[in-house]
């Protein structure tokens, strides 16, 4: 009886000790929160076992309009470092930071990493007029679609982490170099595979692929939306269908959260292929990291561009 | 402070303030049978904001607020002018028409803008989880003033809502009081919708009042029951939203619905027994 009691007691004590050790161990890691799954993935490549990383927005939704949950507020509250895409991509970022009240990210935000620093931005409006579709005051924020920009992001994250945790600065910078080398090899491969489609006319749903098409020399002949965020009108669709026929476009690029009815209608009329490409790691599920995500995008696009057909 | 309170005290406080004013206004709205008037006024306010937006003002700026307030006041005047003593066209029909036309007009104007569509949806959705202290204070002061005003003139307001015939007979200028009612109502709804969203505001307005009608015929009884009901649903909804990590506003609305079903069952059961 006594032995049993001792056994139970020692089990309880040791499991508490184990929990305590785990807590201690966990506490020694930097607690990093990224606004998107893609940033979280790149951050994990840079920080590896020195950080614990979580993300906020679901990869299944339009990043502009995510609605944070209580757990998201808690994540930001407890985080040591916040990584975000800057500009006005995450429309919910400021209210979320205010609600979390974590002094590290308020005001000057000394422990937040804006990965857009140094990214050559496209479509910066010369005069800000909402009626012309210039909702993005700082330029097009979908720069993560260009794999070259992923390298800038990696460097920004490494520098940001190094500032908060100077002891591991070399580790972070070293990992960024490794990541960027991997990216260089991949970009070469992707560019080679897309080389056969130089200047190929494509249609995108929203203006979220500007960086991607520039990298791979495709030419966007129109958008399914007449203006960013405005649903297509009859006249616009008729014009777009005519353009697709005239320029012999083969592909409509849409993101997973964009509706399929309109692209499908256009496809039925013209025989173009609708391809769903993603900029969010984890959507589709098989894209476990940024490289496999882009790999999948390139493969789908390659297949669609090779497809013979059209009406 | 527990992590729950640390995280949720602001939304909870906001919900309690909303309960305070909306349960009271809800009792009026249900009595007047103008259930959807808040949706129509919110839509008109959004239309006002769209107009400001088209004139180049920022969507969250001061000018836009005055535009949407101005639009709401026009709506308030429409609703008070369309109520007649012997009504041929039901008030609900007017409310429906105003809602549909305001929503359509907003779409028309926005078809010339960019991403405004989503911005306006935001205005009508709100996010109670991310409410900040300044918004809570503004709400408390504004609703305090409106509440005191209604408290001071409670007899007239209640008479017109519950027994309009008697009010007309007594020679009360019903139309002018109606304008006052809809003006104050519009002021409250516009501010609430911006913070909590259309769905949540509608629930705060109607569900406590309806739940209380099940149990009480007296206005004061309904008011106190409604407040209790609202407080319970707020705490329950905020709690569930925290523990299961669900969108806060939608959880509170569903808790309201669930509680109402529960109340109806209890009522039915006790009625049969009695």
Give contacts of B129 with chain A, Cβ < 8 Å: 68-70, 73, 99
Across the range B70-86, mean pLDDT stands at 88
Using 50, 70 and 90 to split pLDDT, how confident is the model at A84?
very high
Domain residue extents for chain B: 3-267
Is B144 part of the contact surface with chain A (CB cutoff 8 Å)?
Answer: no
Look at residue B107 in the predicted model and tell me its pLDDT.
80
CB contact under 8 A, A70 and B114: no
Show the domain range for A226.
189-306
By residue count, chain B amounts to 274
Looking at 1.10.3480.10, 3.20.20.100, 1.10.3470.10, 3.40.30.10, the CATH number of the domain B3-267 comes to 1.10.3470.10
Residue with tokens 């960027």: A180
CB contact under 8 A, A69 and B248: yes
Give contacts of A235 with chain B, Cβ < 8 Å: none
Across the range A161-176, mean pLDDT stands at 96
Across the range A253-272, mean pLDDT stands at 90
Give contacts of B132 with chain A, Cβ < 8 Å: 95, 98-99
Nearest CA in chain A to B57: A130
Look at residue B117 in the predicted model and tell me its pLDDT.
61
Using 50, 70 and 90 to split pLDDT, how confident is the model at A134?
very low
Q: Given A131, A151, A186, which residue is the final one in a domain?
A: A186
CB contact under 8 A, B129 and A68: yes
Look at residue B169 in the predicted model and tell me its pLDDT.
92
Same domain, A182 and A196: no
CATH code at position A236: 3.40.50.1980
Q: How many domains does one find in chain A?
A: 2
Look at residue A16 in the predicted model and tell me its pLDDT.
61
Query: Exposed, middle or buried by CB within 10 Å (0-12, 13-18, 19+), for A29?
Result: middle
Query: pLDDT tens for residues B143-170?
Result: 999 999 999 999 999 999 999 999 999 9
B80-119 core/surface letters (b: 16 or more CB in 10 A; e: else): bebbeeeeeeebeebbeebbeebbebbeebbeebbbbbbb
Same domain, A114 and A170: yes
Chain A nearest CA to B166, separation (Å): 48
Give contacts of A227 with chain B, Cβ < 8 Å: 113-115
Look at residue A278 in the predicted model and tell me its pLDDT.
94
Is B5 part of the contact surface with chain A (CB cutoff 8 Å)?
Answer: no
CB contact under 8 A, A230 and B245: no
Q: How far apart are CA A100 and CA A95, in angstroms?
A: 9
Give contacts of A56 with chain B, Cβ < 8 Å: none
CB contact under 8 A, A70 and B125: no
pTM of the predicted model, to two decimals? 0.80
Across the range B57-78, mean pLDDT stands at 85
Residue with tokens 């990214």: A119
Residue A311 lies in a domain: no
Across the range A156-175, mean pLDDT stands at 96
Using 50, 70 and 90 to split pLDDT, how confident is the model at B206?
very high
CB contact under 8 A, A68 and B242: no
Is B166 part of the contact surface with chain A (CB cutoff 8 Å)?
Answer: no
């Amino acid at each position: 009886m006594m032995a049993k009691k001792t056994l139970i007691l020692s089990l309880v004590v040791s499991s508490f000790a184990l929990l305590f050790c785990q807590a201690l161990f966990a506490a020694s890691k930097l607690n990093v929160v990224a606004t998107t799954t893609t940033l979280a993935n790149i951050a994990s490549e840079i920080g590896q076992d020195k950080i614990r990383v979580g993300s906020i927005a679901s990869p299944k939704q339009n990043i502009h309009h995510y609605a944070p949950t209580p757990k998201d507020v808690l994540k930001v509250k407890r985080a040591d470092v916040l990584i975000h895409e800057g500009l006005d991509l995450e429309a919910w970022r400021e209210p979320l930071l205010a609600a979390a009240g974590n002094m590290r990210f308020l005001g000057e935000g000394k422990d937040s990493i804006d990965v857009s620093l140094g990214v050559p931005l496209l479509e910066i409006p010369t005069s800000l007029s909402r009626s012309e579709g210039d909702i993005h005051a700082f330029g097009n924020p979908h720069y993560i679609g260009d794999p070259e920009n992923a390298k800038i992001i990696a460097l920004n994250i490494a520098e940001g982490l190094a500032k908060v945790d100077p002891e591991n600065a070399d580790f972070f910078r070293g990992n960024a170099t490794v990541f960027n080398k991997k990216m260089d090899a991949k970009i070469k491969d992707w560019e080679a595979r897309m080389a056969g489609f130089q200047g190929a006319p494509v249609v995108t749903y929203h203006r979220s692929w500007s960086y991607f098409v520039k990298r791979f020399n495709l030419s966007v002949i129109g958008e399914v939306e007449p203006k960013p965020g405005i649903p297509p009108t009859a006249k616009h669709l008729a014009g777009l269908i005519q353009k697709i026929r005239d320029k012999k476009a083969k592909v409509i690029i849409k993101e997973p959260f964009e509706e399929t009815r309109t692209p499908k209608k256009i496809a039925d009329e013209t025989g173009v292929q609708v391809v769903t490409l993603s900029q969010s790691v984890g959507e589709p599920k098989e894209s476990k990291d940024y490289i496999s995500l882009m790999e999948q995008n390139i493969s789908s696009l390659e297949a669609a561009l090779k497809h013979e057909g059209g009406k | 402070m527990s992590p729950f309170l640390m995280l949720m005290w602001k939304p909870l406080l906001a919900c309690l303030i909303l309960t305070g004013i909306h349960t009271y206004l809800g009792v009026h709205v249900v009595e007047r049978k103008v259930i959807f008037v808040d949706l129509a006024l919110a839509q008109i306010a959004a239309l006002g904001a769209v107009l400001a937006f088209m004139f180049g003002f920022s969507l969250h700026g001061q000018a836009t607020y005055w535009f949407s307030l101005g639009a709401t006041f026009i709506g308030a005047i429409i609703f008070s002018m369309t109520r007649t003593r012997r009504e041929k066209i039901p008030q609900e029909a007017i409310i429906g028409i105003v809602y549909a036309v305001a929503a359509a007009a907003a779409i028309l104007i926005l078809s010339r803008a960019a991403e405004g569509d989503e911005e306006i949806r935001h205005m009508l959705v709100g996010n109670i989880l991310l409410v900040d202290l300044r918004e809570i204070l503004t709400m408390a002061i504004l609703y305090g003033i409106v509440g005191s005003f209604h408290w001071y003139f409670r007899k007239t307001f209640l008479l017109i809502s519950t027994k309009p015939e008697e009010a007309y007979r007594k020679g009360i200028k019903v139309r002018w009081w109606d304008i006052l009612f809809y003006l104050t109502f519009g002021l409250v709804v516009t501010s609430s919708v911006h913070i909590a969203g259309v769905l949540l505001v509608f629930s705060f307005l109607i569900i406590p009042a309806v739940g209380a009608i099940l149990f009480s015929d007296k206005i004061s009884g309904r008011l106190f029951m409604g407040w209790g009901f609202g407080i319970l649903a707020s705490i329950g909804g905020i709690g569930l939203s925290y523990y299961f990590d669900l969108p806060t506003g939608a959880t509170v609305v569903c808790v309201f619905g669930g509680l109402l079903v529960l109340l109806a069952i209890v009522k039915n059961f006790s009625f049969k027994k009695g």
